Chains A and B, each alone.
Chain A
Amino acid sequence: MKIVLSLNDQKRLYDYIDMGIDTFVLGGKYSFHCPYVFSLDEIASLTQKYPQCIFYVAVNALYDQHDIKDVEDYIKALSQMNIHGLLFQDYGVLQIVKDYQYHFDMMYSPETLNTNACTLNVLKSQGVTSAFLSRVIPLQEQLAICHDVKMPLMLQAHGVEYIAASKRELLSNYQAASGLSFQNNGIDHLTLKAKNSDYLLRIFEDEKGTHIFSDARLYTLDLLNQIHEFDYLYIETLMMNNEEAIEIASLYSDALKSYKQGTYDRDIKEYMDLLYRLKTPLDRGFLFDQTVYKLEDMRKMDNEKRESNR
């Protein structure tokens, strides 16, 4: 079990290394969403300067046909650096890596699709070498998958949760239709709330389209006893400022050390107090919840909701 962190600021890399974190996901030109977009030069420089670190690059968008040649060139450039692996969701990326026989750890990270063990074992036979589990399944199912899949698995330990992405410019379109004024730049100004819901969403637009995340941060700091069998615990620093990212990395890093030293059960209360002091919204996501999909179950849930609202 080791921490993997999406690198939000290269100036802070040494702080993370100092905490004992050595594995990082770098955002780049072809990342779907990331806390910072590193240029190829920056990636090359990082890999040369920190040879002791393990770097993944997120090549994790869905790519249009007219972009695929550029993606191919980009992957070729990465293959000439000390990059350990790629996070991807478009099977086109996997096919490119197979065609050129690049030696990346190919971590399949489709956000929403890694929901059972059998499928992941099939994908292993197709060239996937590690996988990032979906967040929309309960912890019990994630653990069952962990037992049955024969390749390294990553679980999101902390941070905002991906919810949806559109190729369209949904905020610009709304601005044009409504004539309303708002800050449609940057990733952390805008939130959404459905008229019939209290659930707060983060929304932002960039050149790849529109992205929706949870406002609350998924947290598992107090669950290390249950999730210790996963190979990687991922900290998503998207929408965190530097201070929060450092604090969270430090907390999980310390908790992991406590776990390995056998003092975790004693120390966790203190870690949780520190987490609460950050005053960021926290959530368990689907770890202890589940979704329904059969008509009778959906009706039952709707009836229960109606009853509870009376």
Chain B
Amino acid sequence: MKTTARHFKRMLRVGVIAATFVACATFAGPLGLPPVPDPADNPITPEKVKLGDKLFNDKRFSTTGEVSCANCHDKEKGFTDGLQVSEGIDKLKGTRNAPTVVNAAYLKTQFWDGREPTLESQSTQPFLNPVEMALPSHDPIVKIVRKDPEYIDLFKKAFGKTGDKVTMKEVTQAIASFERTLLAGNSPFDRYFYGGEKIAMSPAAIRGLDVFINQGRCVSCHVIEQTQALFTDNRFHMIGSGAKQMPKNLDDLAAAVEEAKKKGTDIAVLSNEKTSSLGRYAVTRDLTDIGAFKTPTLRNVALTAPYLHDGSLKTLEEVIQFYNNGGREKETDPVPELLSGGIRPLNLSNEQQADLVEFLKALTSPEFDKK
């Protein structure tokens, strides 16, 4: 994608973006990542990115004036928040662990349940969710960006628009453009696997890669390809997380679906654990999707604890134990009826599990590594 590379070069030249991880994306995209999608209806420009960055960090777009997108997607924490489930205004809790924004540009759907198709449409929801930024409507945002002198200037530069011409469409396009620059590749794994640097990963991590690809079967969903690795198949699987909360009978299921219909999916799933546990089903109403959540990327995974859609596991070791037990925290837990076929006990030794953790730590991009 020549245009994208050119855009990025221009961004770098004009010094709009200082963050080094974007600089890495400038030339050919970071090692191990495909070209950045650059939608025809919202091409990335440095002006939009600068504007999007400001919007992403603006706390005025919440009822309390204390919550911005960056609260839950904190650059210092790999664009997550380190909490089990996210906190919005007045420390109100949702039901899901904040997914990283890094590499979200490549995802085919957004949110854990894929309920929005694009970064643009995704960005409209948290402003209005009562447990996130809790605005009654998008009007306050539009009002601010039309009046604030700094925004007036930025919107003019990014879209050539002022006054009434500035709407939520431009707001979301700018946020999405900013998010499309948050990329992470060039990890020790990438240098080892794609760059041919045999010493980029430790021997333990190299053994862990073998477990990842073979006996651990992780790669079936956390995809590694010949020239790139997004570590997601962009699909939805019921891996056993949330099984305990899941509606067990028709009445419970009907009640949860009714709630989703009445309140809207976004609000219903973030306000009720039971409804949240429906996963993709809340979006598609396809029985195959009950309890299924999107495969998240594993890039920077060592920095984004806790894990799973509900943040129920605290460490990578716990996650591997969970998969080794076939989607159960304890071996004695019942096997969930609707578990995906690919999830089954793995019979990994303690050493294999430790190696796997070392491999996962090798997925941290240097810009995010605080060591």
Determine if chain A interacts with chain B.
Answer: no
Which of A's residues lie within 8 Å of B, judged by CB?
none
Which of B's residues lie within 8 Å of A, judged by CB?
none
